[in-house]
Amino acid sequence: GNVGSKVETACRKLGMRVLLNDPPREEREVGQKSGGMEKSVFVDLETVKKEADIITLHTPLTKSG
């Protein structure tokens, strides 16, 4: 989403390697060029839990919770 993309961009500008776990986005981006995303990589949730120093979660705000 919008917030996650902004966090990803900020982290990459700081030189961080970004681990992404967003299956719908990964599906959309299969076969697309990285567009400067060399420091971002899609991984499974277990890899995120093992390797990440910081984890952020971004979910939409809905009335139903």
Residue 33 domain flag: yes
Residue 22 domain flag: yes
Terminal CA-to-CA distance of the chain, rounded, Å? 18
Residue 23 lies in domain: 2-51
Q: Domain total for the chain?
A: 1
Report, as an integer, the average pLDDT of 22-42: 72
Model confidence at 65, pLDDT cuts 50, 70, 90, reads low
Strand pairing of 18-20 and 40-42? Answer: parallel
Residue 27 domain flag: yes
**Tens digit of pLDDT for each residue in 9-30?**
999 999 999 999 988 887 787 6
pTM over 0.75: no
Residue 16 domain flag: yes
Question: 29 vs 33, 43, 49, 64, CA distance in Å?
Answer: 8, 14, 23, 29
Residue 59 domain flag: no
Q: For position 26, what pLDDT does the model report? A: 79
Residue 35 domain flag: yes
Q: For position 43, what pLDDT does the model report? A: 92
Residue 34 domain flag: yes
